[in-house]
Amino acid sequence: MSDTPAAEQQGQLAHWKPRQTVELITGSVGDRLRHNAAHIGQRPALFHLIDEDSDTLDSLSYAELLAQAENCARWLAARCKPGERIAVWSRNALESVLLQYGCALSGNIITHFNTAWTDAELGHALELAQPSLLFAGEGHSGQDLLARARGLASCEVRPLADILNIADTRSEQPLPQVSENDPCLIQFTSGTTGKAKGSTLSHRAVLLGGWLRPHCEGASEVDVWLNAVPFHHIGGSIAVVVGALGVGGSFVVLPKYDRDQLIRLMPAVGATRMGGVPTMWLDILASGELSPSARLSSVSLGGASVSPELARAIHSRLGARCGIAYGQSEFAIITAVLPGDPIEIACDTVGRPLPHIEMKIIDAASGETLGVNETGEICVRGPTCMDGYWANPAATAETIDAEGFLHTGDIGSLDTEGYCRIKGRLREVIIRGGENIYPVEVENALQSHPDVALSAVVAIPHPRLGQDVAAAVKLRPGSSTTAEALEAHTRQLVASYKVPKTWRFVDSMPVTASGKIRKIELEALFTQE
């Protein structure tokens, strides 16, 4: 294969051809668990807290995990046919992991419900997925979700704690053959612009979605994931749980994000790989108790734009590389910044498409492929793509075209080396007097100011220009920065027409149940005012 970057091989078109530089693993998620149990059966597959308020941990080896998951699978197979949906509504728990692997072995489709959902949001998910069983555990703050689940669900609802007894009870119920092409997971989207949709991911997409990035980063059996991302997020159910499975490493089941506990556990478990969303790491880096860990090699961030200042702070404070990645509920993993990339790449891009992933940048109106460094919609094709939206063929047809490219709805560009830069969501582009403004660029400029903790840039109506730029800003504690100071700071970093003209200082941002900023609510707030 030529060493010439794939984007260059296409001339000056922003079209990155898939690199066949690694051999993909095959089989179902259950096949991989059986492989690990046979080859590294005594190595720890996971660690879990014995008590939430204690740092004391217990572990399960791969052999033990397989045995308990198979017991769960036999119990499910006696009650549900392959392809039936099994829902879990709980914060992270050992039982959720056992259930996820039990479903993988029984041919059932797992779907994790977000614990922050309202009754209306849960009702929508139940109506869409039509689960045969719903297991309910505890919410984010430890509240019991069982009664709410029973009041809303028409299917059988059981306590998630039942899984521990099920996992200890062996039966002779035969298990079905499960193919890598069978559906494995329904991953609900964040619902930032409407009702959440259910991305249906095959065993192949789930397995490779977890394996591809850590494999390319050189992860192995010695790696330990310490990450509090919830399992209802693709970063938890795939990137952490299946990421560790793919390379034979281990991970820690954390019921919730607790900054101080996370910092204490770093040396205790010998964490090598950590992650989360940027707001978590702004909080972690603010701790006076944080010190470099001898083993920590990578901090993987996603779910929101990552400021250059945050990437550099992780490197300087912890001695770890900042592993930026890009994926979606619809496409488990797309790009990543890899160990050989300089830190500037992590500060400015989301890396290159991973092997076997194809990417092109198109004009959303015409569908034509644009040139390198031109900004348009990101379209991707590859083995980690969803099969479609569950029970929503119309939305699937709108998102996956006839050539198999998924239209991400994200705006970005590709350079000649294949590095991708994200500019924002397609619907978020601000068109001010004919000029396109991409909110992420302005947000990064704002967040380079030392007093800014978080910012969100949105469009507001303008009688002459059509749209203008508005910014909601959350300041760091104790700061008293003014809008005039932020405007002057931003004007030094972006063109004047991109500088926000309307400002609002907020104590908190409206967010979805997945923690993403609901810009549609901010737009409404500014418009009402």
| Residue 231: DSSP 8-state | T
Percent of the chain with pLDDT over 70: 94
**Better pLDDT: 329 or 427:** 329
pTM of the model: 0.85
Give dist(CA 408, CA 399) in Å, integer.
7
Characterize the bridge pairing of strands 224-226 and 273-276. Answer: parallel
* Per-residue CA distances from 296 to 149, 215, 225, 291, 300 (Å): 39, 17, 10, 11, 11
**Most confident among 380-389, 473-482, 504-513 (mean pLDDT):** 380-389
Read off the tokens for 421.
């830069």
Contact between residue 369 and residue 414 where contact means Cβ atoms under 8 Å apart: no
Q: Identify the CA nearest to 83 among candidates 155, 177, 204.
A: 177
Angle of helix 94-106 versus helix 29-39 axis, rounded to 10 = 110
Number of Cβ within 10 Å of residue 374's Cβ equals 15
Q: Identify the CA nearest to 237 among candidates 219, 221, 249, 253.
A: 253
Which residue carries 């303008």 as its tokens? 462
Kindly indicate the confidence band of residue 463, based on its pLDDT and cuts at 50, 70 and 90. Answer: confident
Tens of pLDDT, residues 53-105:
889 999 999 999 999 999 999 999 999 999 999 999 999 999 999 999 999 99
Q: Identify the CA nearest to 64 among candidates 42, 86, 49, 82.
A: 42
Kindly indicate the confidence band of residue 175, based on its pLDDT and cuts at 50, 70 and 90. Answer: very high
Beta strands in 363-405 (DSSP E): 376-381, 388-389
Q: Identify the CA nearest to 320 among candidates 287, 286, 348, 297.
A: 297
- Secondary structure element (H or E) that encloses residue 98, with its range: helix 94-106
**Most confident among 60-74, 489-503, 507-521 (mean pLDDT):** 60-74
Given a cut of 60, whether residue 6 has pLDDT beyond it is no
3-class state of residue 95 by DSSP: helix
Q: Identify the CA nearest to 195 among candidates 513, 449, 491.
A: 513
Kindly indicate the confidence band of residue 3, based on its pLDDT and cuts at 50, 70 and 90. Answer: very low
Angle of helix 62-77 versus helix 29-39 axis, rounded to 10 = 140
**Better pLDDT: 190 or 332:** 332
Given a cut of 60, whether residue 12 has pLDDT beyond it is yes
Strand partners for 112: 88
Return mean pLDDT, the chain.
Answer: 91
Tens of pLDDT, residues 261-310:
999 999 999 999 999 877 788 888 888 778 776 689 899 887 555 677 78
Given a cut of 70, whether residue 4 has pLDDT beyond it is no
The one-letter code for the residue type at 304 is A
Given a cut of 70, whether residue 487 has pLDDT beyond it is yes
Dihedral Cα 241, 245, 246, 247, nearest 10 deg: 120
Given a cut of 60, whether residue 193 has pLDDT beyond it is no
